[in-house]
């Protein structure tokens, strides 16, 4: 996030949430199950 002073002349960044990224699961988002059933060669993303 950003913190601004009252005059809006200065800002400072601050951490809102520290996220943990597990590769490869969080590198790719999951597809809806019905989307992966249209074509046999179109699998779900890894880890989902």
pTM: 0.36
Confidence (pLDDT) at 37? 81
Q: Do the Cβ atoms of 44 and 25 come closer than 8 Å?
A: no
Tens digit of pLDDT per residue, the chain (48 long)?
999 999 999 999 999 999 888 777 777 888 888 888 888 888 887 777
Q: Which of 1, 3, 45 is nearest to 24 (CA)?
A: 45
Confidence (pLDDT) at 30? 83
């Amino acid at each position: 996030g950003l913190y601004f002073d009252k005059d809006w002349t200065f800002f400072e960044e601050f951490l809102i949430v520290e996220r943990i990224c597990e590769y490869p699961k969080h590198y790719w988002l999951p597809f809806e199950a019905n989307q992966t059933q249209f074509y046999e060669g179109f699998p779900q993303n890894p880890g989902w």
